[in-house]
Amino acid sequence: MFLFWFLSDSREKKSLQCLRICKEYSSERIFCKGFCYKEEIARGRYCQASSVYPCQPGKNYYGRGPIQITWNENYGAAGKFLGLPLLTDPDMVARNPDVAFKCAMWFWNEKVRPVVDQGFGATTRRINGGECDGGSPTRVQSRVNRYLEFCRQFGISSGTSLSC
């Protein structure tokens, strides 16, 4: 369902995408080295005005799943794509591992994959732009350092434009 794009890419591009998926997903839980939390610790509302995917009463759209999907727009669009009521039941992402990973792959394909050719910094900006532009230089550098280590271990080039 989600890996159709994988069939036509070059070996190097496939390697970089797999590496970035693993790296970015694991980076969201910096202090425990990846995939530790089903839900964001600091649970904010993450609600923006939207006529397409309006926030539902009593629902919060904080990070859930391996990539910590946030915001009502993302829950609504992912739910529409997957045929699930994620806007009215965002907790489904934390309750159901299949839904969690489907949301993560949806987010990667819709939001991140279009900028993969622009470098690791562009993927970071799409996933957690709040760290970029001076928002958290220490976290950005830590993310870049781990990415470089992943590249070294996989024996592939890191490319350019590493920082966001």
Please state the φ and ψ torsions of residue 27, each to the nearest 5 degrees. -70, -25
Would you write out the chain's pLDDT as a tens digit for each of its 164 residues?
A: 444 444 455 656 655 666 666 655 555 444 344 456 788 877 889 999 999 999 999 999 999 998 889 999 999 999 999 999 999 999 999 999 999 999 999 998 999 989 988 999 999 899 888 888 888 899 899 889 988 888 888 788 888 899 99
Indicate yes or no: pTM above 0.75.
Answer: yes
What's the N-to-C CA distance of the chain in angstroms? 30
Domain boundaries in the chain?
4-154
Q: Is the distance from CB of 54 to CB of 89 less than 8 angstroms? A: no
CATH no. of 4-154: 1.10.530.10
Q: What is the pLDDT of residue 60?
A: 97
